Amino acid sequence: MLQKEIKRLFICGVVIIIGLILFKFIPMGLYEQEIEFDASFHMAGFVFLLYLGWMFVKKEWRKYYLIFGGLILIGVGVQRINVSAHNVGGLVMGLLVSSVGIWLSRSRYFRKK
């Protein structure tokens, strides 16, 4: 079981890194360092950490963990907008990159549903 979880984390992490290279670091190199529409590393990183924690939460506590994670992501998003580090597009891009990573790492589970 632990090997499956490590494999899923690895796949998710690799997809997130590739997504951030494509949608954060390449646009920053093409335009400038201070663009706001690049994918948010903070959002993608927090989603990855929340996914890591998800694996250790008991099933009956997962809905509360999901609410807790959503509140954390809202807080991070508001903070990133307030400091003008990202616009909404950059935050959504970070969430999409990390969501694709989770989906690809759990694709068999999602195909069964």
- The structural domain count of the chain equals 1
Output the pLDDT for position 103.
Answer: 92
Residue 112, domain member (yes or no)? no
Q: Is the pLDDT of residue 73 over 80?
A: yes
In a domain, 11, yes or no: yes
Residue 8 has pLDDT above 70, yes or no: yes
In a domain, 13, yes or no: yes
Range of the domain at 93: 2-107
CA distance linking residue 79 with residue 26, whole number of Å: 24
Per-residue pLDDT, 33:
67
Domain contains 70: yes
Angle formed by the axes of helices 88-105 and 41-54, nearest 10°: 30
- Domain assignment present for residue 72? The answer is yes
- C-alpha span between 45 and 4 (Å, rounded): 21
CA distance 89 to 25: 15
Task: Indicate the pTM of the whole model.
Answer: 0.84
Structure confidence at residue 36 (pLDDT): 66
pLDDT at 99: 92
Residues 16-33 have pLDDT tens digits of 999 888 888 787 777 776
